[in-house]
Amino acid sequence: MKKTKKQEIFEAAALLFKEKGYQVASMRDLANRVQLKASSLYSHIGSKEEILRKICFDNATCFIQRMEELLHQDISPKEKVRQLIRFHIQIATQDTTSITVFNDEWRNLSEPHLSRFLGMRNTYEKQFEAIIKEGIAQKQFKTVNSKIALFTILTSIRWIHYWYKPKRSISLSMIEQDILTILGLGLEA
């Protein structure tokens, strides 16, 4: 299926933001990437920030939807954490450009979008932490500070989108297994 010009613009913008950073990337740079005049871009998009908002909120929504699905499954906290880690790895390796912008450039959102984004992120983190607390209460996890466990897990998987290339000699399943093993050694009882 052929991409629309708007889809091309959003993909080119995500790559441009990844390469140059949101602050440095200009609409002129973007116009050159998609072979349009800068003035013509505005018939497809409203602003540079519109693109950033779409990238950030599309990714945030994806993570929240996955969390909601897991919260309604009748599985152990240990399995929920394992599935969330796998999900983070899959997202980070499927669209490294978009996830890089999501992780690194969200700070450039203006209000009220920044507050809304931070609210979504906070909700996700609280739900993830609640799963960890439940695992601790059920003796599936060691008795540790749940916030430290949460941020150790999240920080431990935020690097993947920088490093991962499909052509590497290590498979995605091996990456998942090794990360789950390493993180599991620290958390699981």
Q: Residue 88 and residue 63: Cα distance in Å, rounded?
A: 8
User: pLDDT value at position 81?
Assistant: 96
- How is residue 99 annotated by DSSP? H
What is the CB neighbour count within 10 angstroms for residue 80?
21
User: So what's the pLDDT on residue 97?
Assistant: 85
Find the angle CA(108)-CA(109)-CA(112) to the nearest 5 degrees. Answer: 150
| Confidence (pTM) | 0.89
**Which has the higher per-residue pLDDT, 169 or 178?**
178
Residue 84 near residue 70 (C-beta atoms within 8 A) = yes
Using CA atoms, how far apart are residues 143 and 132, in angstroms rounded to an integer? 10
Distance CA 79, CA 165 (A): 27
Q: Which of 101-105, 163-167, 182-186 has the highest mean pLDDT?
A: 101-105
Query: How confident is the model at residue 12, as a pLDDT?
Result: 92
Domains of the chain: 1-46 (1.10.10.60), 52-187 (1.10.357.10)
Cα distance between residue 185 and residue 180, in whole Å: 8
| Nearest to 40, CA basis, from 2, 5, 11, 70 | 5
The region of weakest confidence among 9-13, 68-72, 121-125, 145-149 is 9-13
| pLDDT tens track for 61-120 | 999 999 999 999 999 999 999 999 999 999 998 888 889 899 999 999 999 999 999 999
Which amino acid is located at 3 in the chain? K
